[in-house]
Structure 1
Amino acid sequence: MVRLPLTPAEVERGQRLGAVLRRARGERSMLGTALDAGISPETLRKIESGRVATPAFPTVAAIADVLGLSLDVVWAEISRPGAGAGGDARLAS
């Protein structure tokens, strides 16, 4: 299977996802968050930094659950047109 290159919109959405998760994690440790979500700290680091722009849905769902984030809120934040990675996300669950 050949993986197609990501579009600029997909890359930007991945950066926004990383920013939302990073802000929601706050002072909580990356290690603890990753282990609670059942993923490696390296995977969480790559998602938060935008290096993994299209993580699997179960991975995003597990991280959101650990952080107490609604998937609806996560989707709304990463789908906003023109929203930058450093934007002011409302992270109410």
Structure 2
Amino acid sequence: MVRLPLTPTEIERGQRLGSLLRRARGERSMLDIALAAHVSPETLRKIETGRVATPAFPTIAAIADVLGLSLDAVWAEISGPERALSPAGSGHHAPERLAS
């Protein structure tokens, strides 16, 4: 499978996601959160550092659940500035890649 290069928007979104997850995790260990979410600590580390900018939806859903975050809150946080660039009510949105 050939992976398309990430867009700057996807990279920025991945960095915002990582930052959100680190803040939500707080003092809890990465290992504890990863095990509770049934993902590897390495996967969580890569997401938190932005190295995996487009993680799979079930992965994010599981981590968000363990951290007590709603998916709506996660989406609102990570989709931030580029949403403001889209004209309101235009009905025209660029397709979004949420998972690889």
Q: TM-score, normalised by structure 1?
A: 0.86
CA deviation after TM superposition for structure 1 residue 24, in Å: 0.2
Q: Distance in 1 between matches of 2:28 and 2:79?
A: 25
Amino acid of the residue matched to residue 9 of structure 1?
A: T
- 1:1-93 maps to which residues of 2 (within 5 A)? 1-81=1-81
Q: Distance in 1 between matches of 2:40 and 2:79?
A: 26
Instruction: Show structure 1 runs of 4+ deviating over 4 A.
Output: none
The structure having more radius of gyration, on CA atoms, is 2
Structure 2: 5+ residue runs without aligned partners? Answer: 83-100
Q: Distance in 2 between matches of 1:14 and 1:5?
A: 14
CA deviation after TM superposition for structure 1 residue 2, in Å: 1.4
Structure 1: 5+ residue runs without aligned partners? Answer: 83-93
Identity, in percent, stands at 83
